[in-house]
Chains A and B, each alone.
Chain A
Amino acid sequence: MKFALAVYGAPANSQAPQSALHFARALVAQGHEIVRLFFYQDGVNTATAIAQPPQDESDLPAQWQAFIQEHQLDAVVCIAAALRRGVVDLAEAKRYQLPGSNLRDGYELSGLGQLVDGALLADRVVTFGA
């Protein structure tokens, strides 16, 4: 079955990205296809490269990135939600003359249309952190 996952919670204040990662791993293990990951609302913080959780805690952004890269997943971060919360790629940093960029490799900034598109492509869309 084709799945699209939407993640709305941030690693530091929500269980949503962790639950979504567990669910995504289970999908892959059972042979399902993940047609899109969409990070929206506070979920965009999952894609920051400059969060550094304490060493004795799980590093969720790093685990998500490794999972995305291992399975070559289409991981989209909502550009409007990300700009609002300080998650930007190099192009946006230049456009708005920001002092740095912090989007992890493996993610792409794009519009909300990608959430809709993913939902339409998928047999099931599952939301985490609503």
Chain B
Amino acid sequence: MSQSVCIISTRAPYSGQSAREALDAALVCASYDIPTALLLMGEGVFQLLQGQDSRHIPRKNISAMLQALPLYGIDSIYVDERSLLERGIEASQLCQSVTMLSQGELPTFIRQHSKVLNF
């Protein structure tokens, strides 16, 4: 089986460094020319909210980094649909288009990858 990596990011964008460091891991995977998928779940879905202005915290803008992912060969961001529903977030509030995964689709999606790095 050829290798592929699924990065699962589960933390809110500015609660600690987890979201940033998960993204760094995704970028490094992609730079190794390994097919890499980024899956946002749980609090991680907040990373995609439009209108983030992190200058006053001050932190780097996570949503801006997410939008740069295609430049590094990560073309699609996957989102657990139920995590959005649980938090009352509509797809129209997200800063970019994503691929929604239903609860039923999640296990199959994760299993498609030879390695999973959970953050």
Contacts and interface: CB of A to CB of B under 8 A. Distances in A.
B84 interface: no
A6 interface: yes
Contact of A116 (B21, B25, B118, B119): B25
Contact of A112 (B10, B18, B24, B115): B24
A80 B24 contact: yes
A130 B10 contact: yes
A69 interface: no
Q: Number of contact residues on A: which range applies?
A: 10 to 19
Interface residues of B, number: 19
A116 B24 contact: no
B118 A119 contact: no
Interface in A14-29: none
Given A81-B21, A130-B10, A113 B116 contact: no
A120 interface: yes
Given A80-B24, A125-B116, 6 more contacts: A41-B21, A84-B17, A112-B28, A113-B32, A116-B29, A127-B118
